Amino acid sequence: MRLDSLEIDEKQENQEILRRYRRLLRSARPLLHDGDEALIREAFMTAVNAHRGTRRKSGEPYIYHPIAVAQIAAEEIGLGTTSIIAALLHDVVEDTEIELSELERRFGPKVAKIIDGLTKISGVFQTGTSQQAENFRKMLLTLSDDVRVILIKLADRLHNMRTLEAMPRNTQLKIANETIYLYAPLAHRLGLYAIKTELEDLYLKYTETEVYKEIAQKLAQSRTARNRFIKEFIGPLEAEIKKAGFNVTIKGRPKSIYSIFSKMRKQKVPFEDIYDLFAIRIIIDTTPENEKPACWQVYSIVTDFYKPNPDRLRDWISTPRSNGYESLHTTVMSKTGQWVEVQIRTMRMDEIAEKGYAAHWKYKDATTSSARENGLEQWITRVREMLERPGTSAVEFVNEFRNNLFNEEVYVFTPNGDLKILPAGATALDFAFEIHSQVGAHCLGAKVNNKLVPISYKIKNGDQIEILTSSKQKPSEDWLKIVATSKAVAKIKDHLRDERKKVAVDGKEIAERKLKALKLDMNEELLAELRAYFNQKSNLDLYFSLGKGIIDPAELKRFKEFKEAKAEGPALPPAKHLQASISKTLKGAESDVISIGDDLERVEYSLAKCCNPIRGDEVFGFVTINEGIKIHRTSCPNAPEMMANYGYRIIKVRWTAQVETAFLTGLRIAGTDRIGLINDVTKVISSELKVNMRSITIDTHDGVFDGKIMLYVSDTSHLDKLISKLKKVSGVVGISRFEN
């Protein structure tokens, strides 16, 4: 009986595999040429045979995943045959016996190169390095040759996020945080707004589950009223625009859950106080040469009906964003007194906004294509320069790369009127390096709109900038604190590297001589401990600091004493062996989970000061080189970077009921000032709930107060009870927890 049911299941699965494959072909057909379908079929059969018998964590056949990735590549990004084949085969080399050379022979060098870029590096990594960062850098090495590697990786990541439910909790956190740290900004940079938005929402779903559910529920509850409002808002506009002779589609789109959450957190307000929960999008069907006048004519009609906010006009048609995004944004006041964002664009612009980089080539001959291509090509050139720069660790590269995925931009001009686009926060010194590396290296100051400014001046939209140089000027370490662009950082580091190398040679000799005298063997393990102890990012930085006298050689003796003191306490295993060591130490069914107050008595740990976790918070452990395990909240602002670069050092942690500890946490409190307010607040804290305060600071201005209170609580329910009581104090408008 059981065998029969298994055979039926297998038959049903095979039918489902074929159904998904046929759906893929239907999506791909508009993009295919003669012979392409046969190649896709061959790739599909190769993948089916290679992954036969393999299943995902959900229990589904593994082949569902590559088919889904190919489906996203074709349908949601608009990629063609080569990408579909590569997507179907992207896990074959990594997970099966098939060699890359065989795929190259059967499907050509382009497909093989893309698959190679998507295949993780295997082997042993040195202590202090990051396999995640190395794999990310390897993938990006192919960017300058073929951007499709990144696009397929984004499709792969999107499907993994969509099916994250089946994964264990710690894996969910690692993948979600890596996604928000690298892949969502990367999707944004390539103009894939729909994918970027979904990745952000899914990140929130798995890291702030309760908040995600609450916002989703409130959006659902307000949907009927929102749709009624949108219908009434659109009605007169649509009639007038069509009367003017335009063929348009007008729709209201709700803002993403993540963007609403970000606004709530940034503005420190509840869901009910977020006014722009949706945007109205007007999409015009017109010819390329008529796009600009059509958008402005429709804008004129919109502002005839509704008064615009003059500070909220964004013209990305005259000057497209550097990722190719084109649209006209305005915020107008509705008849009911509510601000509404209106986006005006053409069908071409809308497709580019949804499908990003891949959609550009469909419109390559359009009249406005050069501006779009230039912005994207400039960015790819920057990434190529970063990849080619010697002496940069993978983690440094990933962090620099991420800094280059800027969202907000400023548009400035050279003295000759040439437009330059830089990230928001860029300085006159960044602009100088954007002109030329030698101009940057000798930058003395700048004239902005004919007014003299220092190199640290933060440039603003519309500035016209002239750089002043001197042959005597040269880069210094302080410059790294001034610049915001990765290009400027890289060039300054290049100029400093020669001097640092000379000093570092002396520093290395000092280290070798001193460590030998202290009978310490200078190997990679010891160097990693030294870097952590002296807070140095690389061996070069460590040697330079010793050679320059920033680190006194006598401090090496103190390091030895610190190391020996550590050795006398509970031994800490190397990070990469931590999971195995914990499994041996702990007993029970969940041997990969350690409990605060129980198992952790045998493992050195401390609560991270960056997020001040308290009992009841969802937490994870991060193993450090010298300070044992640090316990962080999953919502810690540093969590995405830690999990993206050092996922193998993350361990599962839970609280035990036995913990009887007072945890330090912070509350931000705001409201209208009155006599006796502070007394009422402290009365609730100290008298009613018997909570100890460490500090309280209240600042009042024009009848409004803003305060911070540091206090000790036993757990999250204790904190929630305190917040609930404080909200009832007369004059208190808002209370929120904050991290240090």
* Residues annotated as part of the active site: 94-95
3-state SS string over 499-551?
Answer: HHHHHHHHHHHHHHHHHHHCCCCCCHHHHHHHHHHCCCCCHHHHHHHHHHCCC
DSSP type of residue 495: H
- CB 645, CB 396: distance < 8 Å: no
Measured CA distances, 324 to 191, 295, 350, 552, 705 (Å): 7, 17, 11, 51, 44
Query: What would the two tokens of residue 585 be?
Result: 């130490």
Pairwise CA distance, residues 203 & 259, whole Å: 12
Query: What would the two tokens of residue 105 be?
Result: 């022979």
Helix (H, G, I), strand (E, B) or coil at 217: helix
* 443-448: strand order across its sheet: 451-453, 443-448, 465-469
Q: Dihedral (C-alpha) 210, 216, 221, 223: value to the nearest 10 degrees?
A: 170
**Comparing C-alpha atoms, which of 258, 254, 158, 260 is closest to residue 201?**
258
- CB 621, CB 650: distance < 8 Å: yes
List of E strands, 174-291: 247-254, 278-285
- CB 103, CB 384: distance < 8 Å: no
- CB 279, CB 343: distance < 8 Å: yes
β-strand partners of 695: 710
Pairwise CA distance, residues 378 & 287, whole Å: 28
